[in-house]
Amino acid sequence: MSLSPSEFSPPALTSPFIDASFQAHLNEYGHCDILIDRMIGFPLLEELDALEGHVAERLPLIDPLFETTPDEAPLLVRLDAGASSLIERYLAHAADEAQRAGQGQAICAILFSRLPFAKLARHLTRHLDLRIKTGMRVFFRFFDPRVMHHLPRLLQPVEMAQLFNGIDHWCYQHWGNQHIALNAQDYGPLPDKPAYIRMSISSAQWASLQGIETFNLALRALWQDGYPLDDRTEPALHAALKVARTYGLPRQEDQATLACHLVCSGESILRQPQWLRALQLVRERSFSLKDVLEADGIALLSPTAPNE
């Protein structure tokens, strides 16, 4: 006799990287869905291959970008709750990857959905193709936790509801050593339109989405230079990037470099003559800000603890 998810109680996960709500979701749904970015890697492949088919299903998200390289397409894996030891290992791997702030993560998300598996894969694939209202189409890496983390503040609630249509809980590991769960109910119901309609956003929203890459460039530089990241880092970096954009620097790398220095040393550096000359050279000669700073003998970064 088979048991329904509500009758089945899987072994409790002991991973320190999850909270009680995750276990409750696993008990309720009887499975979870893991999104893997195979361009970053495919951790625990042998362990996954060893499971029986009814315990683990998998489908690639074949956007046109991957038509010639299907093995690099994002992969959706549905794990039965009975595979708790492997789920636990994926969670631990995700938490380990997230510590490399600003860098790619192979384990992108763990989802809870009642959609049939193939229908969920089609839904996620559809949203890889993002339409801009100017007529442009772009590959949308919404599944990347470095991107998803910013979407609730950059997209409209109805757009988040459209993205999460059929997905009740979207969980990912944050570089701040946090397990974050986004819940579809927080974004309200979809308007009366077919669920298969692709998302379409304004050019202003697209410009804001492009700023995510600059944020991650700066975050990665801070992490690599030993700056202590904590819950104050994110708002400080957003504020620094806002200032950096006002200086008309042409490249994202230059904006990220300036923002890192503002976070580390404060806005007082912008009153120093050598900094003003460096920024002028970058604007007028298209030099790299890092190169100009090195040539002028200005230390690239001075990682110190945030002010108390």
> Over the stretch 151-180, which tens digit does the pLDDT of each residue have?
999 999 999 999 999 999 999 999 988 889
Q: Where is average pLDDT lowest: 162-166, 208-212, 238-242, 300-304? A: 300-304
pLDDT of residue 2: 35
pLDDT of residue 5: 41
Q: What is the mean pLDDT of residues 219-233?
A: 92
Tokens of 117: 């598996």
Which residues, other chains included, contact 226 with Cβ-Cβ below 8 Å and sequence gap of 6+? 303
Handedness of CA 69, 71, 72, 76 (dihedral sign): positive
Q: Is the pLDDT of residue 195 over 80?
A: no
217, 103 in Cβ contact below 8 A?
A: no
Mean pLDDT taken over the chain = 88
Confidence of residue 307 (pLDDT cuts 50, 70, 90): very low
Q: Using CA atoms of 201, 121, 67, 127 in order, give the dihedral in degrees to the nearest 10.
A: 0
Strands of the chain (E only): list them.
31-36, 56-60, 75-80, 107-113, 129-132, 137-139, 167-174, 178-183, 200-201
Residue 6 or residue 123, greater confidence: 123
Residue 308 or residue 72, greater confidence: 72
Q: Is the pLDDT of residue 127 over 60?
A: yes
Q: What is the largest CA-CA distance in the chain?
A: 78
Q: Where is average pLDDT lowest: 6-20, 38-52, 86-100, 117-131? A: 6-20
Confidence of residue 17 (pLDDT cuts 50, 70, 90): low
Report the predicted TM-score, pTM, of the whole model to 2 decimal places.
Answer: 0.87
Cα–Cα distances in angstroms (integers) from residue 237 to residues 46, 234, 262, 266, in the given order: 39, 5, 8, 11
- CA distance linking residue 192 with residue 234, whole number of Å: 36
Q: Is the pLDDT of residue 306 over 80?
A: no
Considering only CA atoms, which of 208, 131, 199 is closest in space to residue 162?
A: 199
Confidence of residue 189 (pLDDT cuts 50, 70, 90): confident
For the chain, the residue count is: 308
Q: Is the pLDDT of residue 240 over 90?
A: yes
Q: What is the mean pLDDT of residues 202-210?
A: 92
Q: What is the mean pLDDT of residues 177-184?
A: 90
Q: Is the pLDDT of residue 90 over 50?
A: yes
pLDDT of residue 250: 86
259, 236 in Cβ contact below 8 A?
A: no
- CA distance linking residue 277 with residue 29, whole number of Å: 59
221, 261 in Cβ contact below 8 A?
A: no
Instruction: Residue 196: count other Cβ atoms within 10 Å of its Cβ.
Output: 9
Q: What percent of the chain has pLDDT over 70?
A: 88
65, 85 in Cβ contact below 8 A?
A: no
Confidence of residue 1 (pLDDT cuts 50, 70, 90): very low
Radius of gyration of the chain (CA): 22
Confidence of residue 308 (pLDDT cuts 50, 70, 90): very low
Cα–Cα distances in angstroms (integers) from residue 7 to residues 37, 82, 192, in the given order: 33, 13, 35
Q: Are strands 200-201 and 129-132 parallel, antiparallel or unpaired?
A: parallel
Tokens of 170: 């979207």
Q: What is the pLDDT of residues 255-304, one digit of tens each?
A: 999 999 999 999 999 999 989 999 999 999 888 999 988 887 776 555 44
